[in-house]
Structure 1
Amino acid sequence: MKRALAVFTLITTLVAAPHPAAAATVAADASYRTLSTAHHPDWMRAVPDATGLAALSLPGTHDTMAIHGGGPTQTQEDFGDSGGTLTAQLAAGIRMIDIRARVNGGNTFTIHHGAVYQHANFDDVLDKLAAFLGAHPSETVVMRLKQECTGELGSCTDAPGQLSFPDIFDLYAAKRPALFWQPSIQRGTAAATPTLGAIRGKLVLAVLHGAFGGPIEHYGLIQFLDWNGTSTYVQDNYNVPNIGAIATKRDQVRRFLDATDAGDPTKMYVNFTSGASAFVQPQWCAGGALWVPGVNPFLLDYLNQGHVTHRTGMVVMDFPGGGLIDRLIRFNPGFSASA
């Protein structure tokens, strides 16, 4: 049902979405569309090695590479093709990424958002990550990798005659043993939650998702073996059916922040602030539309008001602003949330 809704949403968005004039233009601000005003390429240097991954507050991006396709499919500011946008995000302080891949000829992955090719390949993603982590060895990046194509109307279709999605991933991982934190890419044995000291300079695979949801085999971290949509530790209520429902999405983000702050400190929490539908573009949910404030400015205000005192978990955003990234980073050990 969830996948059918996603397909319907994509189709109707492309052919029947309201004209942009239906939503007021929202100016960029500290929470929205100002990623380049943040510059934190080495922020994890201040965090003690013994800090568990679950204790960190990680700014993240939803559909990290989605810069093409216009209002219905773009989720991030455009800083260039072939991974240029990812490089900009990493330099700003983003440390959790959401990569969507199509199986292409030659047993390779190309990066898609639905049917729209994002002018980048998985090698571009890994090249940019290797370059960044090589230059900034105090840092780590957590990645969710998802098979994007369902083959249904409105989605992309994987190239025929290729290896399976996990088999192709294994080929990529085998070529870059120094890039990946190895316990997270073992196909049959998921990894326990690591400390930061164990994963500095490495890419950590959180989960490998199949096209119709649900993790593939046992890649990633033990805690996320049951990551299939919204659950106790993941908030991904992405369907925002109309502009008024942006308020509901704001409340879902707020409630999950509160649950994260008060929850089990050994567990990782993933809070998606993104949302869209046939009648709501990702930029409207993030920045606001007509009379309804967006999730991003609400989130920055909520954090600034002191409602969260310990951690935010992984906050996965569309069009994050520099001020919002700054604020999230300050919740980490070694920083002052009130600074």
Structure 2
Amino acid sequence: MLFVTSVAGTFFASDASASYNSSNWMGSISDNTSLSSLSIPGTHDSGALYEPIYGTAKNQDLTIAEQLSVGVRYLDIRTRHYKDAFTIHHGAVYQNQNFDDVLNAVISFLNNNPTETVIMSVKEEHTAADNTRSYEDTFNWYVSKNPDKWLMTNHVPTLGEARGKIVLVRRFQAAQLPKGIDATSWQDNTTFTIQNAANLKIQDYYKVSDRNKKWNDIQNMYHEANSSNPSWLYINFTSGYNPGLFGIPNIRTIANDINPKVNQFFSTNTHGRFGITVMDFITGDHASKIISTNF
């Protein structure tokens, strides 16, 4: 077992033969390791950096490029299908960027860090308008620009298969299969399993009326991931919102309560397999603690 300390974004293993930083940490893990065997920092609504009213739509302080730089390897991308293209949305709120902007950031990162992979969940958001083709056709058009950068396997791949590529977690219907890990049976506001070519367990309790329940759900997923069949991919959302007056969300209230608990959890659980942690307002400190459990 390697014990890891971090200094200025670089992590050093105790045997001194393995060192990594937040941009290339997967490079210190063997090719035959399944992505389901790792602890991976991720972000919820990864492109949501803007909001018209404080607390209602912004989920991240870091850009996509900054998220990848601090070690995030799971992105939750929400796209509106508009005029045969994808715009990035959180609900009705346009996020001042498009899918090309996201892909440019991800592909640039992978070109500069070919030992890494990025798991990307893609979901349709808001209302489609002014299109002449299907959502799937538009997605295929984006893929066709850089087909060698996508891994469309329907099973959970190994790092050797996935290095330098985007691994698709598909939350939209598709006629042409396989097209990524099929997560189209995603359930709403609960913990659930999806079993097909890939076995997934997902905790996504996001309308958080009970913060103690939310934290218990998160911890239960961590403990199960650390003790259960390593072929299952665990996706654990620490994100959520507190339903306020007239249903207006308050996103930061939940992050301000839960994020310190996540940090404390990984300060005491320093080694093991904890699945994908999907956070609002992730920081480099959050990501580094999650990453270090792999070593």
Q: Give the TM-score range, shorter chain.
A: 0.7 to 0.9
User: In the alignment, does 2:264 pair up with 1:301?
Assistant: yes
CA distance in 2, matches of 1:93, 1:169: 26
Partner of 1:323: 285
- Post-superposition Cα deviations, 1:138-181, rounded to whole Å, max 9, x if no partner, equal 000000000001xxxxxxx2213431111110111112112111
**Alpha-carbon offset, residue 225 of structure 1:** 5.5
**Alpha-carbon offset, residue 281 of structure 1:** 1.7
CA distance in 1, matches of 2:100, 2:253: 31
Native 8 Å contact 2:31 2:160 kept in 1:
yes
Partner of 1:99: 77
Native 8 Å contact 2:81 2:131 kept in 1:
no
2:136 to 162, 166, 190: 166
User: In the alignment, does 2:169 pair up with 1:206?
Assistant: yes
- Post-superposition Cα deviations, 1:70-119, rounded to whole Å, max 9, x if no partner, equal 31111100x4xxxxx100000000000000001111x1100000111001
Partner of 2:181: 221
SS of the residue corresponding to residue 101 of structure 1 reads: strand
2:59 to 45, 67, 75: 75
Matches within 5 A, 1:111-130: 111-130=88-107
Native 8 Å contact 1:103 1:162 kept in 2:
no
Partner of 1:253: 218
2:67 to 85, 89, 110: 89
Partner of 2:47: 65
CA distance in 2, matches of 1:101, 1:53: 25
CA distance in 2, matches of 1:329, 1:309: 9
1:110 to 87, 101, 104: 87
SS of the residue corresponding to residue 269 of structure 1 reads: strand
Native 8 Å contact 2:71 2:284 kept in 1:
no
**Alpha-carbon offset, residue 327 of structure 1:** 0.9
Q: Which has the higher contact order (CA 8 A, sep 6+)?
A: 1
Which has the larger share of strand? 2
Partner of 1:231: 192
Native 8 Å contact 1:65 1:76 kept in 2:
yes
Q: Normalising by structure 2, what TM-score?
A: 0.83
Q: Normalising by structure 1, what TM-score?
A: 0.73
Shifted more, 118-127 versus 227-236: the winner is 227-236
Partner of 2:5: none
Native 8 Å contact 2:70 2:283 kept in 1:
no
SS of the residue corresponding to residue 77 of structure 2 reads: strand
CA distance in 1, matches of 2:267, 2:129: 47
1:76 counterpart letter in structure 2: Q
**Alpha-carbon offset, residue 128 of structure 1:** 0.9
Native 8 Å contact 2:242 2:253 kept in 1:
no
Percent identity, aligned pairs only? 36
1:140 to 114, 117, 120: 117
Aligned residues: 261
